Structure 1
Amino acid sequence: MALMLTLVLSLLELGSGQWQVLGPYKPVGALVGEDTVFSCFLSPATNAEAMEVRFFKERFSTVVHLYKDGEDQKYLQVPAYRGRTVLVKDFMADGHVSLVLKNITLSDAGLYGCWFNSQTYDREAIWELKVSALGSTPVISVMGYGDGGIQLLCQSSGWFPKPTVKWKGPKGQVLSSGYKTNSDRNNLFNVETSFTIQENTGNVSCAIQLVEHSQAVESSVWIRESFFKPSSWRLPSILLGILCFGLFVGVTGMIVVYLSMSRGKISAELDWRRKHGTAEWREARKHAVEVTLDPDTAHPQLYVSDLKSVIFKEAPQDVSYTEKRFKRKCVVASQGFQTGQHYWEVDVGHNESWCLGVCQDNVHRWEEDLDLSPIRGYWVLRRREEHDYFTLDPHRVTVVPGIHPTRVGVFLDCERRIISFFSVNDQSLIYTMDYPLEGTLRPYILPQTYKENELTPIFIPSLSQE
């Protein structure tokens, strides 16, 4: 009965030349850090240029944006929205306005309204803004051997609301979905999940997803088959335990067997890398080229010396800003490659954090927060802290070098469209990735930018002189 009365009143108002305000017909979804748009319009279309238009949150007095007397009245905004709103007035003569709300935060979630007032008549529309936060790219760590397999740990932070987490096999099949979460002081959820691989499964992925979003944030780790091959140490260790000890010592012997198996599996993996990687590295090194850094591309806090060395310093240099210079704290080479085969080495020393590889010449150099992924035109190997080596291919792939390399070889094969990273220290292959896109690629370096007093320069040695 009430609904019928409302409809009748609306028809009477429209019949008398009045209008209604129509806003978003369903909740508006937005991600933390992004912008969103609220659109409201009058039906039937009515010129709103001389009207007062107010966007508010929860209460009429909480002004998000106010348009009055033909101007934006920014001084009446509540402080939380100052400098974050833009009213689009291009179609105001037709009664259509849009409000851009920038840099969404969790606290922006709630009910919003738009109110139109023609001095003789006013109406409003109400809708809900739902805010979500996509967390960090999952970090997969190999914890070791236990429970009859390889133990993996996946961690990510900064999610809202609570996400779902799944371990997936190489064909996308779900392996496990158990996980735990905790919230930080900003009410964002941190996620942690573990999984034990009992047999060879190739690529294993950790996928984290919000229910409202179809796209998952995913990382993967490649578990080579050799990890699961029986070690040649197994039988001698068992026989030694049985022959030399009694029951108690026999139990101790079984522990030795278990440790030997683990050590044998790791040794088998490293032996495979050395055997195959050394041959590839030697072949790649035949294509050594001279690479020099371009100071005009370096961030002001990166100091380039002799076109070969780069180091980060807190005090920025006084440099000219051009289209070539990166906003991210990185530098690229003067040389660019489109065809042929090219190999160079980068001496990273004992710095705990670095990133190197290649990037397309036309990457967005003034955008600092983009992921260094193939989707953005970057094919790079990264090290963060002591044991965290990874690349984006395009999802996060954790790699485990045999040793911590102090010199890394980069091989760009433009004919086969591949990029390989080598540990020069033990002449082993670290990882190979494809690049399907055409265009010029330039050597890329992002040095460590913290612990300044402990930093050492990263430099590109001249291989022709060695």
Structure 2
Amino acid sequence: METCMLPCSSEGGTAVIHWFQQSAGNRFVHSFYEGKDQLGLQNQRFRGRTSLFSDQISSGNASLLLTKVEVQDEGRYKCYTSTENGIKESFINLKMDAPVHEVDIQREGNTLTCCSEGIYPEPKLTWSTSPPSNVNSKCNTRMQETEQHLYNISSSVTPSDSETDLTFSCTISTRRSKRSVTWPSTSSKQSNSGATVAGVIAAIVITGVVAAVGFVLYKRRKSNTNKTHTDTELKVELNRSSATKHLTSPKQTPAALLQPCTEPS
């Protein structure tokens, strides 16, 4: 499970600190005043998962440490601080990402099946052929949502007799990652190739705060003229091993998530 730090600073001195999950109706995440943590109003989802850097609060560090990060933690957070030197509000947009790490394709009889597991956000799957052709075969794509709100996706296609000599490619993608696999595979073609796309300005790794594997922190901060408001964007890449360990009991998504296979234009 991942751990991340939501950055926030105060004007220093004796502080009142309130953290809220604004995107979920201003849930109380963590409060500190009168020199100690005040967790009476803390939302149950965050019990035992939050802490402040108590020895650094007087010097202006109001950052929140969030452990056992999961998809449901995604959203907009507000940090409110009040000291004798002034009031400050900071807003953090926390985004989760479980990229497409591996795509598997197998053949059983005349049917090709392509699949991948433990993905977030919701992926898309497309088939294509080389050389290009109109694929008239029936194709069924099925998606499952796990208890951790990650996605498993699989698709099957049965080539017609006239298509057996074609090379089939299956591509699974999200808005930030994409991987493809081909059948039949050859030594000149990587059976699993892909790239992760990240449209952010800067990447910052905070040593000693993030988990050892699979955590990436992206930060974008803007301040207004009086420097009392800041906006920060964080991206957490979930560890695939922890993301997929509960896939044995997935929750079936509604029928609306069953997709037809389409050939990319």
TM-score when scaled to structure 1? 0.32
State which of 92, 113, 124 in structure 2 corresponds to 1:153: 113
Cα offset, 1:222, TM superposition: 5.2
Q: What amino acid is the match of 2:46?
A: Y
C-alpha deviation, 1:55, in angstroms: 1.0
1:104 to 69, 73, 82: 69
Could you tell me which of 166, 182, 197 is aligned with 2:143?
182
**1:140 is aligned to 2:111:** no
In 2 relative to 1, CA 37–167 (structure 1 residues): closer, same or farther, beyond 3 Å?
A: farther
Q: Which residues of structure 1 form unaligned runs of 5+?
A: 1-32, 146-150, 226-367, 372-466
In structure 2, the CA distance between the partners of 1:181 and 1:94, relative to structure 1 (3 Å rule), is farther
User: For residues 13-58 of structure 1, what are the alpha-carbon distances to aligned partners after superposition, in whole Å with 9 as ceiling and x for unaligned?
Assistant: xxxxxxxxxxxxxxxxxxxx5333211124xxx314x101111112
Q: 1:199 aligns to what?
A: 165
| 1:112 Cα deviation from its structure 2 partner | 1.1
Indicate the SS of the match to 1:128: strand
Amino acid at match of 1:40: C
Q: How far apart, CA to CA, are the structure 1 residues paired with 2:69 and 2:112?
A: 34
Quick one: which of 31, 36, 46 aligns to 2:4? Answer: 36
Distance 2:25 2:81 in 1: 12
CA gap of 1:106–1:138, structure 2 versus 1, over 3 A, is: same
Please tell me the root mean square deviation across aligned C-alpha atoms, in Å.
4.3
Mapped contact 1:200–1:224 kept (Cα < 8 A): no
Q: 2:81 aligns with which of 106, 113, 116?
A: 116
Equivalents in 2 of 1:104, 1:370: separation in Å?
Answer: 11
Deviations 1:68-98 (A, max 9, x none): 2333334542221122223235654542332
2:219 matched residue in structure 1:
none
Paired position in structure 1 for 2:42:
77
> Within 1, Cα distance between the matches of 2:25 and 2:125?
40
Identity of aligned residues (%): 24
Per-residue CA deviations over 1:336-366 (Å, capped at 9, x if unaligned) read xxxxxxxxxxxxxxxxxxxxxxxxxxxxxxx
1:391-433 superposed Cα distances (whole Å, 9 cap, x missing partner): xxxxxxxxxxxxxxxxxxxxxxxxxxxxxxxxxxxxxxxxxxx
Separation of aligned partners in 1, 2:186 and 2:112: 14
Q: Quick one: structure 1 residues 221 and 87, their matched pair in 2 at CA, closer, same or farther if it must change by over 3 Å?
A: farther
Alpha carbons of 1:109 and 1:224: their partners in 2 closer, same or farther (altered >3 Å)?
Answer: closer
- Which segments of 5 or more consecutive residues in structure 2 lack a partner in the other structure? 188-239, 244-265
The equivalent of 2:18 in structure 1 is 54
Indicate the SS of the match to 2:109.
strand
Over 3 Å counting, the alpha-carbon distance change for 1:138 and 1:223 in structure 2 is closer
Cα distance change of structure 1 residues 41 and 369 upon mapping to structure 2, 3 Å threshold: same
Give 1:114 shift: 0.2
Query: Is residue 2:181 matched to residue 1:208?
Result: no
Q: Which residue of 1 aligns with 2:31?
A: 66
Give the 5 Å matches for 1:318-397. Answer: 369=241
Contact 1:207-1:217 within 8 A present in 2 as well:
yes
Residue 66 of structure 1, CA deviation: 1.9
Which structure has the highest strand share of the two?
Answer: 2
Q: Report the Cα distance in structure 2 between the residues aligned to 1:57 and 1:370, rounded to whole angstroms.
A: 24
Residue 6 of structure 2 aligns to which amino acid in structure 1?
F
Distance 1:217 1:90 in 2: 45
Task: Please identify runs of 4+ aligned residues in structure 1 that moved more than 6 A.
Answer: none
Shift, 1:153, TM fit: 0.9
C-alpha distance 103-218 of structure 1, shift in aligned 2 (>3 A):
farther
| Cα distance in 2, alignment partners of residues 193 and 60 from structure 1 | 38
Q: Is the 8 A contact 1:179 1:191 kept in 2?
A: no
Higher relative contact order (CA 8 A, sep 6+): 2
Q: Distance in 2 between matches of 1:75 and 1:181?
A: 43
Deviation at 1:61, TM superposition (A): 6.2
Aligned residue type for 1:191: I
Change (3 A) 1:63 1:207: same
Closer/same/farther in 2, CA of residues 207 and 92 from structure 1, 3 Å limit: farther
CA contact under 8 A between 1:200 and 1:223: conserved in structure 2?
Answer: no
Partners in 2 of 1:131 and 1:222 — Cα distance?
34
Residues 165 and 179 in structure 1, CA contact (< 8 A), matched pair in contact too: no
Offset at 1:113? 0.4
Residue 102 to residue 189, structure 1, CA distance change in 2 (3 Å): same
- Secondary structure at the residue paired with 1:96? coil
- The 8 Å contact of residues 127 and 171 in structure 2, kept in 1 or not, is answered as yes
